[in-house]
Amino acid sequence: MTKIDFRSISDNLELDDDIWVTKSKSNVSYPEQGHEFCFKMEENSFWFRHRNNCIIEVVKLFPLGGIFFDIGGGNGFVSKGLEEKGIETVLLEPGEKGVANAKKKGLKNIICSTLENTGFKYNTLPAVGLFDVIEHIEDDERFLKSVFHLLKPRGRLYITVPAFNFLWSEEDEYAGHFRRYTIKSLRKMLVEIGFHVEYATYIFSILSFPIFLFRSLPHKLGFIKKPNWESRHKSEHSRRKGISGKLLEKIWNTELKRIKNKKKIPFGGSCLIVSHKRDGWVK
């Protein structure tokens, strides 16, 4: 992928050692060690791989019309997956560790900043991805309004978020989440801002029950003990072998097939939504 000069769409970015940076910084609700945890397990994680596959499918179904901006994209796992499919991608990530890890992956277009500090001009971004991002933002509606203004007319927005508040647990608190969502609640917010929702589904259908049983229920009953997060994440995200591994693979393939056919999955651990900015909408 070629290097992009962002000075045509921003007055607040400068190049520093092949990374675009801003002078000002903002606080982010994300654990400091989170990037390293994810970096160690992403490649072998069924969760990250299936989410990537779902994202790639909806991008193919609802094409971009320009450069894809992966906002809050962490270590660049999604960005790298999109670029491997020939999609020109920009990673925007405020965490310096995430940016360093993304650079190790060979990503060429990286901005180390929050969206609010980039100084992007209105109506300039062709497509934006927010993959497990807005649950970390206290005023999610205000943030989505800012994304709306930055998108070009009919520019697309792709979102994943954790689903259902009844699945809330200490895992959400550790990760710096403010909330979980439903398709209905997120769709309502997007429509009120001025987006047209083109496709919405749940994913990770089989995970809802184990999340509730092993995380949410103990949390609600007060049976909480501080786990070894790195060990727990590694165990939960590792690829399964044998019969259970084959069963999971079949389930993930069934979900992907439904997405390819623009069909919906009625429940799951995450929401996946595609929308575009409506023409002439002013709010």
Q: What is the pLDDT of residue 163?
A: 97
Q: Residue 68 and residue 127: Cα distance in Å, rounded?
A: 5
> What b-and-e string marks burial along 210-225, b requiring 16 or more CB atoms within 10 Å of the CB?
ebbeebbeebeeeeee
Report the alpha-carbon angle 69-62-98, nearest 5.
Answer: 25
* Structural domain contains residue 1: no
- pTM of the predicted model as reported, rounded to 2 decimal places: 0.91
* Structural domain contains residue 82: yes
Q: What is the pLDDT of residue 122?
A: 96
* Structural domain contains residue 283: no
Range of the domain at 172: 6-277
Q: Please, which residues have CB within 8 angstroms of residue 146's CB and are 6 or more apart in sequence? A: 115, 116
Q: What is the pLDDT along the chain (283 residues), one digit of tens a residue?
A: 678 889 999 989 999 989 999 976 666 655 556 667 677 778 888 999 999 999 999 999 999 889 999 999 999 999 999 999 999 999 999 999 999 999 999 999 999 999 999 999 999 999 999 999 999 999 999 999 999 999 999 999 999 999 999 999 988 988 889 999 999 999 999 999 999 999 999 999 999 888 877 777 777 777 766 655 555 555 555 665 666 678 889 999 999 999 999 999 999 999 999 999 997 655 4
CA-CA distances (angstroms) from residue 280 to 22, 123, 195? Answer: 31, 12, 11
Q: Residue 78 and residue 66: Cα distance in Å, rounded?
A: 17
Residues 209, 167: contact at Cβ < 8 Å?
Answer: no
* Torsion 22-189-47-210 (CA) sign: positive
Structural domains of the chain, count:
1
* Structural domain contains residue 267: yes
Q: What CATH number has the domain bearing residue 41?
A: 3.40.50.150
Q: What is the pLDDT of residue 215?
A: 79
* Structural domain contains residue 144: yes
